[in-house]
A and B are shown apart, each in its own frame.
Chain A
Amino acid sequence: MKTLTVGERRIALDKDGYLADLDDWSADVATALATAEDIELSPEHWEILELLRAFYDEFQLSPATRPLIKYTALKLGPDKGNSLHLNRLFKGTPAKLAAKLAGLPKPTNCL
């Protein structure tokens, strides 16, 4: 099994690099996951990660790209709820990558 080392902790990941246990997530874990993806988390990243966790809390699933854009537009306005902004932050695959950094399961509706 893959693991991620954060300080003293070793955190279990699934085969695609997503957290095996959603409860393992913390800001430090997100930062370590981002580093592994060559991303330095900015405030703009963090607000999307928090948004994703709110989405998961509400709907109990990880959004595909379209619902992620729609939800972001609903909560943060159209300036941020668009594919350009999200693609720029998350290397062109916002649904998969942002879900990973937010500690959510891999979106199942991204075929």
Chain B
Amino acid sequence: MAKSLLLISRQAPWSGPGAREALDIVLAGGAFDLPIGLLFLDDGVFQLAAGQHAKVVQQKDLSANLQALPMFGVDDLFVCADSAAERGLAVDALALDDLNVLGAADIAALIDRYDQVITL
């Protein structure tokens, strides 16, 4: 059994390579059928804002890429409720389906469930 991996993505989408790198790790892991989860924490929740326009800042469309996660076999998707609330994002209006919304205590338990964790 392959070791499970939780990727914690906490960078805003257009501030630097962090958000893209986190997604690339997850997609590569999914392509190899690794048990993998993705948690959006802190500014990482901004990746989930609806109605973004990557083209106007000459970036690849991260929002569209995120929609491919289920195709890559990545179904364990989580978002931190506090991070979203602090940033004025309603968790029921985020641009990704089937997100599990977690409080701080749930996140500690989530990290416990995985063999390895990477925070970017």
> Separation in Å of the A40 CB from the closest CB of chain B?
29
Q: Is B72 an interface residue (CB 8 A)?
A: yes
Report the count of interface residues on B (CB-CB < 8 A): 16
> Separation in Å of the A56 CB from the closest CB of chain B?
9
> Separation in Å of the A111 CB from the closest CB of chain B?
6
Find the residue from A58, A66, A111 having the highest chain B CB count within 10 A.
A66
The answer to whether B24 touches A59 (Cβ under 8 A) is no
Bound form: Cα–Cα A65–B27 in Å:
12
Report the count of interface residues on A (CB-CB < 8 A): 16
Of residues 57 to 72 in B, which have CB atoms within 8 Å of A's CB atoms? 60-61, 64-65, 67-68, 71-72
Contact of A58 with B67 at beta-carbon distance under 8 Å, contacts A65-B31, A66-B33 already known: yes
Interface of B, secondary structure class, is: helix
Q: Is B73 an interface residue (CB 8 A)?
A: yes
The answer to whether A109 touches B71 (Cβ under 8 A) is no
Q: Specify which chain B residues have a CB less than 8 angstroms from the CB of A110 in the assembled complex.
A: 31
Q: Is A94 an interface residue (CB 8 A)?
A: no
Contact of A66 with B30 at beta-carbon distance under 8 Å, contacts A59-B71, A71-B71, A108-B24 already known: yes
> Separation in Å of the B24 CB from the closest CB of chain A?
7
The answer to whether A60 touches B61 (Cβ under 8 A) is yes
Of residues 1 to 40 in B, which have CB atoms within 8 Å of A's CB atoms? 24, 27-28, 30-33
> Separation in Å of the A53 CB from the closest CB of chain B?
14
Q: Specify which chain B residues have a CB less than 8 angstroms from the CB of A65 in the assembled complex.
A: 31
Bound form: Cα–Cα A10–B108 in Å:
57
A59 contact from B28, B31, B68, Cβ within 8 A = B68
The answer to whether B31 touches A61 (Cβ under 8 A) is no
- Interface mask (B88-99 → A, CB under 8 Å = 1, otherwise 0): 000000000000
The answer to whether A64 touches B31 (Cβ under 8 A) is yes
Please give the residue numbers on chain B whose beta carbons come within 8 Å of chain A beta carbons, in ascending order: 24, 27-28, 30-33, 60-61, 64-65, 67-68, 71-73
